[in-house]
Amino acid sequence: MHHENTRYSLLLVTILVATGYLSQPVFAETGEKASKASTRTLLTVPYQDREHLLHVMRNNLANMGKLINAMADDDFKTVEKIALKMSLNEKKAKGLTRRGNPAFTAMGVQFHGLDALALKDAAESKDRKRTLRAMSKMVSTCVACHATFRVMEWPNNKFYTQPKSTPLLLPQGVVIHSN
């Protein structure tokens, strides 16, 4: 059973890393990357609102990590609690509609209104496979949204200036490998 938990955890972590990659701003776009990025719809929101939206999405990603940890321990009560926390509430609904894009609102409703509650229901059933499938559906919604929308224009954004690079500090024993 431990091997199966590890396999599911690794699969979900891989999916979450890919989702995080898709949420990164695009710096220098050329060739194939440029055409791919240009198909994503820019949500034109004020800078402060963009930062808040990115903060919310990072919290969603952190919660997905907590869900994976809970599932690794078959802690369905924690999964229920986190799923409920991620579900649609009044504040989230206002935030989704404030973006002014019906498709974005629909994806947010899918994630917070449908997927989160489906996960909560699956966790209540204590059915491991059903719960993992519900988590996978949530991640798929994240990936679809990040593949469809972007919230930052780089590098010539009128509302945001590109920060200076910071030094790369690696923990002891961590090295960068060339591929």
The one-character DSSP state at 150 is E
Amino acid of residue 138: M
Give the whole-angstrom CA distance, residue 124 versus residue 28: 46
Q: What's the average model confidence in pLDDT over 132-160?
A: 82
Q: Which range is least confidently modeled, 3-17, 91-105, 119-133?
A: 3-17
Flag whether pLDDT at 178 surpasses 60.
no
The one-character DSSP state at 39 is T
What number does CATH give the domain 2-150? Answer: 1.20.120
Residues whose CB is less than 8 angstroms from the CB of residue 96 and which lie 6 or more positions away in sequence, other chains included: 104, 105, 108, 109, 112
10 Å Cβ neighbour count for 121?
15
Flag whether pLDDT at 161 surpasses 50.
no
The pLDDT tens digits of the residues spanning 66-120 come to 999 999 999 999 999 999 999 888 888 878 777 777 888 888 889 988 899 999 9
